[in-house]
Structures are given as structure tokens and as C-alpha cells.
């Protein structure tokens, strides 16, 4: 029997609590009180759930303890972006970024510690792969923020942090239910986006789910040849196969496209990208290469980005230029981890 209720889908957690409550001869309404304290109105430990009898709270803390992430570092940007480095129970670490925009609060979350894919423009890829996150570790990135300040509960979630979500599908599948279920965080499916480089088996599994989750394909080049230079995954999952697998997400699909000077930002690239976007009714997010996130690569100039976007729009493609956020706090995914690990190694060397 699982002892970590936070690692279960809400319906499974509720069923388990009800079963256990019946065995303990608790009133039936206690199961609902316990369940709402997992995600809807979370508590740090059961002793904070003062609507429950003290003896029950003490028993729950012993038998069903609530797992936590430790916020090792929290950085606040001048533009309101907030970055978290979460230390996991085994010493690994992952990052989340909370981005305010009007009434929207978007949280970018991680699904793996590190990443095995090695995209040349990504700081996380230089870390290598450490391990998959469990479902509770994914969902806890939201839970910990709500515990800190309920008013900071995200309105939107994007799986665009560290790792490739669809290489960790079993845990991501559970986490999606926790995020979306009214008995979980109750975030609308169309406010939850899963980003992938194009992991075909995972895309097929995500497409089977009945909820209208959004899909973002990390495209970054409009041809197989150009994509291979940026993304080694092209060797295993070809661009044409990825686009075919994305077909069920038509009108819920975004192409993510990091602009890199001389690599994927020509007029011809824009024209080819427009054709792909039309094929799947996708809109395009144009992302400036984050300074410091990819040594050896040159960001496309602001003027060129505007010209590239205008060329897409002229061909009827919805294209949005996403401005870089958190430049003063190294908000490119993986940068904070890399910086702190380098500092840790320097301190270790100095004391040995």
C-alpha cells in the first residue's frame, strides 16, 4: 500500500483514504477533509490541519507523511519573474520559473533532473541526465508555491523546465491529473501545456487523454537537416514523423522556435516554418536565445527577430515574440543549477 498520497491521482488518493478511514472506523466525512489538504488547501504537515482531531493528525504524520521539496534558492527578477531551485530528497535539484503577465501567472516546471537530449542551445542539456522525477515531485513544484503564498497559485502550467516530459510519461500522466482534476489543483486543461522535442510514444499517449491539454513541439528548425544540427533527437524521431504525431493536437499546437543567428533565422527558414504551421494550424512562439544559456551560439538580433515574425504574419501565421524574462537572475532553464553547482565545487576545492 502506497504511503505517499501525493504520488497518486486524486481519485486514487481519495479511494485509498476512504478505505483506510473505514478500517479505522472514522466518520465518512473525514476522507474528504483529508483529501482537500493534499492539493486544494494544502498543508506542510498534517498537524496544520486543525479541523482534524489531534490524535488523527499525529497518526497521519506518522503513517502518511507529506513529502516536501526544499527551496534551496529563490531569485526575484526586476521584471517580476521568480526562479526556484528545489532540492530533492536524494540531493538532486530541479528548477521552476514563475512568470507574471497581467492576470496570468505561468509556472514553468521540470519533469526530470537534467536531460539526456543534448540540444545545443539548452543549459540543462549540458548537465546530462540524472533521473526522472516522480509524480509528486512534479506536482510539488506547484504545491510548495501555494504553501508559501496561496495568492501565487499559477493560472497556467507549462512543462518546459528541466527534462523531456514525454520521456517520463508515467509520472507526467499522474501529474497532469493532479494539476487538472477539481480535486487536485483544478487548473483547466487548456491552461496546461506539455512541451516535447518529439518523443513519438509519449505523444501518442498524451493524445489518448480526453482532456484538451495543449502541446508545444520544440521545433527550432523548419527542415530535417537544420534540425539535426541543433537537436540530436532528430536522428531517432524524424521531423516528418513528429509532425504526423502532432496532428491530433491541431489548433492546440504551438511550435517553439529559438532564433539563433545564422542557424535558423533566414527568410527561407521563415517561409518553410510558415508552411509547417499552416499544415497543422499551429501558432509559433519565437524565442530569443537566452544570453548565457548556450555558449558559442549568437542570439538573433532584435531587428532580425521582428523581420522574421513579420514574414510569418504576412503569410497568415500567428507568431508571437516571447521576450526574455529574468535576465538579471539567469532564468534560462538550468542556469541557476549550473551556477550553484560550480560555486559548490569551488568551495569544496578551497576547503580541501
Q: Are 221 and 273 in contact (CB under 8 A)?
A: no
Q: Are 236 and 273 in contact (CB under 8 A)?
A: no
Residues constituting the chain: 352
Q: How many CB atoms lie within 10 A of CB 4?
A: 14
CA neighbor of 173 nearest in space, from 211, 140, 143, 130? 211
Name the residues annotated as catalytic.
95, 333
**CA end-to-end distance (rounded Å), the chain:** 45
Q: Are 5 and 64 in contact (CB under 8 A)?
A: yes
Q: Are 150 and 115 in contact (CB under 8 A)?
A: no
* Helix/strand/coil for 39: coil
Tell me which residue has cell 537530449.
117
Q: Are 71 and 51 in contact (CB under 8 A)?
A: no
Amino acid at each position: 500500500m502506497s504511503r505517499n498520497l501525493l504520488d497518486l491521482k486524486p481519485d486514487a488518493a481519495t479511494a485509498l483514504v476512504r478505505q483506510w478511514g473505514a478500517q479505522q472506523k472514522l466518520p465518512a466525512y473525514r476522507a474528504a477533509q483529508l483529501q482537500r489538504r493534499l492539493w486544494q488547501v494544502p498543508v506542510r504537515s498534517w498537524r496544520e490541519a486543525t479541523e482534524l482531531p489531534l490524535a488523527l493528525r499525529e497518526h497521519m504524520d506518522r503513517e502518511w507523511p507529506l513529502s516536501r521539496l526544499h527551496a534551496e534558492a529563490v531569485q526575484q527578477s526586476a521584471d517580476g519573474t521568480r526562479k526556484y531551485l528545489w532540492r530533492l530528497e536524494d540531493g538532486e535539484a530541479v528548477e521552476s520559473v514563475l512568470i507574471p503577465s497581467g492576470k496570468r501567472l505561468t509556472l514553468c516546471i521540470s519533469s526530470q533532473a537534467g536531460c539526456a537530449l543534448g540540444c545545443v542551445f539548452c543549459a540543462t542539456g549540458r548537465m546530462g541526465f540524472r533521473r526522472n522525477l516522480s509524480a509528486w515531485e512534479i506536482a510539488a513544484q506547484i504545491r510548495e508555491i501555494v504553501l508559501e503564498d496561496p495568492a501565487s497559485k499559477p493560472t497556467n502550467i507549462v512543462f518546459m523546465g528541466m527534462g523531456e516530459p514525454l520521456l517520463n510519461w508515467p509520472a507526467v500522466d499522474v501529474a497532469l491529473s493532479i494539476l487538472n482534476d477539481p480535486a487536485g489543483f483544478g487548473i483547466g486543461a487548456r491552461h496546461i501545456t506539455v512541451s516535447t522535442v518529439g518523443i513519438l510514444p509519449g505523444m501518442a499517449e498524451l493524445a489518448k487523454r480526453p482532456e484538451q491539454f495543449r502541446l508545444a513541439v520544440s521545433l527550432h528548425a523548419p527542415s530535417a537537416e537544420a534540425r539535426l544540427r541543433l537537436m540530436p533527437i532528430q536522428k531517432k524521431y524524424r521531423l516528418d514523423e513528429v509532425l504526423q504525431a502532432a496532428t491530433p493536437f491541431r489548433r492546440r499546437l504551438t511550435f517553439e522556435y529559438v532564433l539563433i543567428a545564422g542557424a535558423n533565422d533566414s527568410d527561407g527558414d521563415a517561409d518553410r516554418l510558415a508552411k509547417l504551421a499552416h499544415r497543422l494550424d499551429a501558432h509559433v512562439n519565437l524565442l530569443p536565445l537566452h544570453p548565457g544559456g548556450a555558449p558559442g551560439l549568437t542570439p538573433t538580433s532584435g531587428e532580425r527577430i521582428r523581420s522574421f515574425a513579420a514574414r510569418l504574419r504576412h503569410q497568415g501565421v500567428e507568431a508571437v515574440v516571447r521576450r526574455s524574462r529574468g535576465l538579471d537572475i539567469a532564468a534560462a532553464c538550468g542556469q541557476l543549477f549550473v551556477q550553484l553547482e560550480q560555486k559548490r565545487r569551488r568551495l569544496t576545492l578551497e576547503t580541501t
